Amino acid sequence: MGKRLKDCTAIITGGSRGQGAAEARRFVEEGAFVVIADVLDSEGQALAQELGDSATFQHLDVTDEDNWAATIGRLTDEGRAIDVLVNNAGILLFDRLTRSSREDFERVMEVNCTGVFLGMQAVADEMKKQQSGSIVNISSVAGLQGVGFQFSYSVSKWAVRGMTKSAAHELARDNIRVNSVHPGLIETAMLDQFPDNLQPKVESFVPMRRSAEAAEVAELVLWLASKESSYCTGAEFVVDGGLSIG
For helices 151-171 and 102-109, give the axis angle rounded to 10 degrees. Answer: 30
Domain tally, the chain: 1
Q: What is the CATH number of the domain that holds 129?
A: 3.40.50.720
Report pLDDT for 245. Answer: 87
Per-residue pLDDT at 18: 95
For residue 126, being part of any structural domain is answered with yes
Which residue range(s) make up the domain with 176?
A: 9-241
The three-state secondary structure class of 187 is: coil
Q: Is the pLDDT of residue 137 over 60?
A: yes
Mean pLDDT score, 203-232: 93
Question: Is residue 93, in this structure, part of any structural domain at all?
Answer: yes
Query: According to the model, what pLDDT value does residue 200 have?
Result: 46
Residue 3 maps to a domain: no
pLDDT in tens, 37-52: 999 999 999 999 999 9
Give me the helices (H) in the chain, please. Answer: 18-29, 41-51, 65-77, 102-109, 115-130, 151-171, 214-225
Any domain includes 2: no
Q: Which of 27, 57, 105, 153 is catalytic?
A: 153
**pTM score, two decimals?**
0.94
231 in active site: no
Domain assignment present for 120: yes
Q: Which of 95-99, 135-139, 184-188, 223-227 has the lowest mean pLDDT?
A: 184-188
> 57 and 11 in contact (C-beta within 8 Å)?
no
